[in-house]
Amino acid sequence: MLFGAYVVETVLWILAISAVTIWSTRVYVHGFLALRLGRIRRSPVEVPEALKQNPPRVAVLLPTYNEYEVVDRLLAATTSIDYPAFDIVVADDSTDTVTAQRLGAWTSKGSVRVVHRGKRSGFKAGALNNVLKSLDQNTEYVIVLDADCVPPSDLIWRMLASLARTGADVVQGYSELSLNSSQNIFTKSMLVSSSSYFVVDMAARKGLQGFIPIFGSAFIIKKSLLESVGGFDESSLTEDWALASSLAEKGHSVFFDESIVVPGECPPTFRSLMSQQLRYSEGITRDTKRHVSKMLATSKANAMKKFDYLFYGFSSFNSLFGLMSIALSAFAVLISKGYLNALGVDRGLILGLGPLGQFALFVVPVYLPLAFFFACAVALYRKGALRELPWSVSSLALNFIFIPFIVYGSFRGMLLKKGDWVRTPKTGAMSG
């Protein structure tokens, strides 16, 4: 009996510590690669002369769902974009009268078109697909912006110039959670955490020619290409990940341009953050499960893209291994100190005093947190905001608290065929 328990514990510990070690090592590698890139510099946009002479028609799509808190701010910024040939189309699923009244005030000015649906089938993806059918036939490119965004006035020129410069099929901008970053400890912590993801992980993946996802907002894609893959997946909770998967399977490229910064809101409460993380983990896991066989089989994606796709697509399960490693390490400490003697727990069950156990007790409390702090430090250095580094402590704590919810979402994504969309509430706060 004891031997069987010992074997099970050994296998679980090896799996958990291996996963956590690989994840942490990857963070260190990406951190050093991003550090070599230096600070982010946002120079004036250089538009090719051919684009200036013949600017393509662009449609800016704004999906909204009861967004009365932010819709005026969104449309004020979007209508101020400096570009000669673009349309603003609101893909509206709202059910409240306040949003309808505010959208009506903008449509009366003639600069905004609202396409409203009577039912919310297909969630955000359904609203966007509904609008795609009604776009001007001369529309060449589509940009999607979430309702909480405040796009810069040169957004379209920057995105088109980036497409021309890189030859990519899609350009994904940096959705920075900065508008309300000073609102409370949650918003400040998430700004630091998300910075490490975008400014470090995405930058390194780009250099390694890895898989670059689409983030649902602040991206541009050719309309004909979007239509060729069937538009947005209406069965998905994460239509952006599903779209990136479909594009990668067919060999289309996504370029992450960190110089295209689009400020947005961070959910300001733990409940809203937890709900958002749960949807992300469930949706991404389910979509990865659906696309993984095609992604691995395609000859149009390199080995690094496939590795990244698997690693990130099922990364929510890293949270499970992280949870296991924390629990096993705590178990090791409790037994080795004799705290569980009264319960009759045999010291022979634990690896805490052996080489593997000692390594685990280094990885979990030292190697893993230092990897996170290192990534945050590199990100903040690249943004010129090292003064915010102390917030990485609360950011790490928040990420650990999220682990059970992320694990739960992952299992939902693996076991259930569909999920329910939960709207992330907006506040319209400006405290960044």
Q: Which two tokens stand for residue 276?
A: 């958002």
Position 353 scores a pLDDT of 46
Q: Stretch 186-191: mean pLDDT, rounded?
A: 96
Radius of gyration of the chain (CA): 23
Q: How far apart are CA 78 and CA 33, in angstroms?
A: 35
Mean pLDDT of 252-263: 96
- Which residue is it, tokens 């979509």? 287
Helix H segments across 178-269? 185-195, 203-207, 223-228, 239-249
The helix (H) or strand (E) run that includes residue 369 is helix 368-383
Tens digit of each residue's pLDDT (9 = 90 or more) over 96-118: 999 999 999 999 888 899 999 98
Q: Is the pLDDT of residue 119 over 80?
A: yes
**Position 411 pLDDT exceeds 80:** yes
Instruction: Measure the CA–CA gap between 218 and 174, rounded to whole angstroms.
Output: 7
Q: Per-domain residue ranges for the chain? A: 2-37+315-415, 49-300
Lowest mean pLDDT among 162-166, 318-322, 371-375, 384-388: 318-322
d(CA 69, CA 247) in angstroms, rounded, equals 34
CB within 8 Å of 309: residues ≥ 6 apart = 211, 245, 248, 288, 292, 295, 301
pLDDT of residue 335: 62
| Residues composing the chain | 432
What is the biggest distance separating any 2 CA atoms in the chain, rounded to whole angstroms?
Answer: 82
Sequence-distant (6+) residues with CB within 8 A of 374 are 27, 28, 31
For residue 394, pLDDT over 70 is answered with yes
pLDDT of residue 357 exceeding 80? no
Q: What is the DSSP string of 415-428?
A: H-S-----PPP---
The arithmetic mean of pLDDT across residues 152-180, rounded, is 96
Strand ranges in 124-247 using DSSP code E only, listed in sequence order: 139-144, 170-176, 219-222
Is the four-CA dihedral 365, 369, 374, 380 of positive or negative sign?
negative
Is the confidence at residue 338, as pLDDT, over 70? no
pLDDT of 2 strictly over 70: no
β-partners of residue 176 are 263
Instruction: Work out the pLDDT band at 319, boundaries 50, 70, 90.
Output: confident
Determine the distance from the C-alpha atom of residue 391 to the mean position of all C-alpha atoms in its chain, rounded to a whole number.
20
DSSP state of 44: P
Decide if pLDDT at 268 tops 50: yes
Mapping DSSP to helix (H, G, I), strand (E, B) and coil, where does residue 6 land?
A: helix
pLDDT at 12: 73
Which segment, 6-15, 37-46, 217-226, 403-412, is predicted with the most confidence on average? 217-226
Select from 3.90.550.10, 3.20.20.70, 3.30.43.10, 3.40.50.150 the CATH code of 49-300: 3.90.550.10
DSSP E strands in 276-315: the ranges are none
* Percent of the chain topping pLDDT 70: 90
Lookup result for tokens 């230092």: 370
Average pLDDT value for residue range 234-252 = 96
**pLDDT tens digit string along 362-391?**
777 788 889 999 999 999 999 999 999 999
Question: What φ, ψ does residue 41 adopt, rounded to 5°?
Answer: -120, 125
Q: Is the pLDDT of residue 273 over 90?
A: yes
Q: What is the DSSP letter of 216?
A: S
Query: Locate tokens 């209508």: which residue?
Result: 79
Average pLDDT score over the chain: 89
Please state the rounded mean pLDDT for residues 403-407.
90
For residues 229 and 300, what is the distance between their CA atoms, to the nearest angstrom? 15
Q: How many CA atoms lie within 13 A of 117 on its CB side?
A: 22
For residue 361, what pLDDT band results from cuts at 50, 70 and 90? Answer: low
Question: Any idea which residue has 């189309």 for tokens?
Answer: 89
Distance (Å, rounded) from C-alpha 388 to C-alpha 377?
9
Q: Report how far residue 127's alpha carbon sits from residue 234's, in angstroms, rounded to the nearest whole number.
A: 9
Distance separating the N- and C-terminal Cα atoms of the chain: 58
Residues 179, 34, 39, 46: what is their CA dihedral angle, to the nearest 10 degrees?
-80
At residue 241, the pLDDT reads 97
Beta bridge partners of residue 185, listed in sequence order:
none
Residue bearing tokens 């260190």 = 28
